[in-house]
Amino acid sequence: MFSEVDVQHFSAAHADGAFVLDVREPHEYVSGHVPGALLVPVSQIDGAVHELPSYRPIYVICQSGNRSRAAARHLAELGRHAVSVIGGTSGWVGAGRPVVRGARANLA
């Protein structure tokens, strides 16, 4: 299943403990990412799909929403419930939401 949500809806899901997958490149991720986001560049999704949850939605985020849309569609084809975040990390930052800098996934 594939769907899209805006940053406001994603923010609510994130506050409730959503699983977040950042599909950008490592240099983009370390410059600022959503707290708790797991980095798997879009080119590596096939090799990492077994590490992703199959029992709950995966919120897929990139910089603007283009790569996340394609990645979410692909994840849906692989049997995952994927949700692309419209506006991506840029929208998240623009809404004043917190970001983590560096390679840490789970620290705010």
Q: What is the pLDDT of residues 43-54, one digit of tens each?
A: 999 999 999 999
Domain of 60 in residue numbering reads as 2-94
pTM: 0.94
Q: Per the domain annotation, does 31 fall within a domain? A: yes
What CATH number is given to the structural domain containing 74?
Answer: 3.40.250.10
Q: Per the domain annotation, does 53 fall within a domain? A: yes
Q: What single-letter amino acid sits at 101?
A: R
Which residues are CB-neighbours of 46 under 8 A, at least 6 positions away? 78
Mean pLDDT of 59-69: 97
* Structural domains of the chain, count: 1
Percent of the chain with pLDDT over 90: 92
Question: Closest Cα partner for 95 from 28, 29, 15, 23?
Answer: 15
The residue from 40, 42, 60, 62 that is catalytic is 62
Does residue 82 carry a catalytic annotation?
no
**Which three-class secondary structure state does DSSP give residue 23?**
coil
Question: Closest Cα partner for 39 from 51, 64, 3?
Answer: 51
